């Protein structure tokens, strides 16, 4: 059999289905509505969405209108999911939203106006969600705006508010006082729209306990294997397995410098594998310090991450060109990679580029 000659990104949709089941069990009766923004966290919203539909998901969240359109097309008429667009309904987008059957999550009073006048023009009631800001200060109606809106039903004429949601700013720190403050702020705001379903929790919020779950939870990163609290979670499986072949093995003499610049001078003879992956594949260059790949039964530290090449110290492990190194997967955990890269698992996933060969397991 020919040795693989290029990097490979395996997207394990069976692991995705497993994680979805874990999240559903944790959500304990709340509807688990997957978040597929950023092209399904870089893993392919079409493939991810179709598999999750097969697992019972009937409601999805995306950020952009264009993401909603693409997901609707990928699901096709046989999978009539509710697709919520978190950007809401900026002026002029009503017709496109309607053409793809997307449900806006309105984020400002001007958007409420846009939606109401679109409903009036089209002569049909429009189902919408409303995003209220409970203290993240990023997106959503202020409490005062939400109260004003609820007190003037005229502004909601033609709109059926089916969802009221907010987003937690510190859920990855379960002990943060901000979580409870946002929960307390959310309760009276959701009560302004008593007929609507309520949603507060993303991945981390699902694990904050029953008070945070309401009717719908919106997991993203944990579906794809990232731990809810930015640390590996034992029940979640990696969905993205990124491997690349060794191109060459070299021994660098003491006093020699590896790679660009003068900073990396070897103190002792150092055996290094040159791995055919780099930041053009979406790995993060900053991850060289503290980052590691899995090879021959151990984690091996990165010395450099260039555009196309990683230098990885391999000690005296037996190694040959063509052997694969796991850069992300069941042993090189995404939460560790994220920490080494100074970022979150979300970013490690969405940066994965199209250069590596992509293989889907468990597609439908």
Ligand X SMILES: *Cc1c(COP(=O)(O)O)cnc(C)c1O
What stretch of H or E contains 116?
A: helix 109-122
CB of 263 vs ligand X, minimal distance in Å: 35
In whole angstroms, what is the distance from residue 171 CA to residue 175 CA?
A: 9
> Is 202 one of the binding residues for ligand X (CB under 6 A)?
yes
Per the annotation, the verdict on 288 as an active-site residue is no
Residues contacting ligand X: total by CB under 6 A = 12
What stretch of H or E contains 198?
A: strand 197-199
> Is 346 one of the binding residues for ligand X (CB under 6 A)?
yes
> Is 219 one of the binding residues for ligand X (CB under 6 A)?
yes
> Is 86 one of the binding residues for ligand X (CB under 6 A)?
yes
- The catalytic residue among 20, 37, 224, 288 is 37
> Is 220 one of the binding residues for ligand X (CB under 6 A)?
yes
Nearer to ligand X, 34 or 94 (CB): 34
Nearer to ligand X, 143 or 296 (CB): 143
CB of 327 vs ligand X, minimal distance in Å: 21
Cβ neighbors of 194 (< 8 A, separation 6 or more) are: none
> Is 134 one of the binding residues for ligand X (CB under 6 A)?
no
Nearer to ligand X, 87 or 243 (CB): 87
φ, ψ (nearest 5 deg) of residue 314: -120, 10
Residue nearest to ligand X (CB): 220
Query: What is the DSSP code (8-state) at residue 259?
Result: S
Q: List 271's β-bridge partners, or say none.
A: 251
Contact indicator for 224, 212 with CB cutoff of 8 Å: no
Q: Which of 221, 272, 292, 325 binds ligand X (CB under 6 A)?
A: 221
- For the chain, give the number of residues: 364
Helix-strand-coil percent breakdown of the chain, rounded to 5? 35, 25, 45
- Per-residue binder mask for ligand X (CB under 6 A), 136-165, x = binder: ------------------------------
CB of 168 vs ligand X, minimal distance in Å: 9
In whole angstroms, what is the distance from residue 306 CA to residue 283 CA?
A: 9
Distances 175 to 91, 180, 210, 343 between C-alpha atoms, Å: 40, 9, 15, 21
Nearer to ligand X, 42 or 220 (CB): 220
Nearer to ligand X, 7 or 236 (CB): 236
In whole angstroms, what is the distance from residue 332 CA to residue 299 CA?
A: 7
Nearer to ligand X, 156 or 216 (CB): 216
Q: Which of 203, 270, 323, 341 binds ligand X (CB under 6 A)?
A: 203
Per DSSP, the three-state class of 135 is coil
| Residue 71 in tokens | 């997901």
The interface with ligand X within residues 165-184 (CB under 6 A) comprises 167
- The catalytic residue among 212, 237, 260, 279 is 260
Residue 172 CA to its chain's centroid (Å): 14
Residues known to be catalytic: 37, 260
Q: Which residues bind ligand X (CB under 6 A)?
A: 35, 37, 86, 167, 202-203, 218-222, 346
């Amino acid at each position: 059999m020919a040795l693989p000659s290029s990097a490979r990104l395996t997207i394990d949709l069976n692991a995705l289905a497993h994680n979805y089941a874990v999240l559903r069990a944790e959500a304990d009766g709340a509807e688990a509505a997957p978040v597929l923004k950023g092209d399904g966290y870089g893993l392919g919203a079409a493939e991810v969405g179709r598999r999750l539909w097969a697992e019972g998901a009937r409601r999805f969240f995306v950020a952009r209108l264009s993401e909603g359109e693409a997901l609707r097309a990928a699901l096709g008429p046989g999978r009539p999911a509710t697709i919520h667009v978190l950007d809401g309904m900026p002026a002029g987008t009503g017709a496109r939203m309607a053409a793809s059957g997307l449900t806006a999550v309105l984020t400002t009073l001007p958007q409420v106006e846009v939606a109401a006048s679109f409903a009036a023009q089209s002569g049909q009631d429009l189902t919408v969600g409303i995003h209220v800001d409970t203290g993240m200060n990023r997106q959503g109606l202020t409490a005062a705006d939400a109260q004003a809106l609820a007190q003037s039903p005229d502004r909601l004429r033609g709109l059926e508010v089916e969802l009221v949601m907010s987003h937690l700013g510190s859920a990855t720190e379960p002990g943060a006082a901000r979580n409870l403050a946002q929960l307390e702020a959310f309760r009276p705001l959701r009560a302004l729209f008593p007929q609507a379903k309520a949603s507060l929790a993303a991945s981390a919020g699902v694990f904050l306990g029953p008070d945070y779950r309401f009717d719908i939870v919106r997991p993203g990163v944990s579906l794809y294997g990232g731990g809810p609290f930015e640390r590996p979670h034992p029940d979640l499986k990696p969905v993205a397995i990124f491997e690349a072949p060794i191109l060459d093995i070299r021994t660098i003499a003491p006093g020699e410098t590896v790679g660009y610049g003068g900073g990396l001078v070897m103190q002792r003879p150092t055996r290094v594998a040159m791995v055919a992956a780099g930041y053009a594949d979406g790995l993060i260059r900053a991850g060289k310090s503290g980052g590691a790949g899995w090879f021959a039964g151990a984690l091996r530290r990165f010395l450099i991450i260039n555009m196309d090449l990683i230098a990885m110290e391999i000690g005296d492990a037996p190694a040959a060109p063509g052997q694969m190194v796991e850069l992300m997967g069941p042993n090189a955990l995404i939460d560790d990679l994220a920490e080494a890269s100074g970022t979150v698992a979300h970013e490690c996933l969405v940066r994965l580029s199209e250069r590596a060969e992509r293989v889907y397991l468990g597609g439908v």
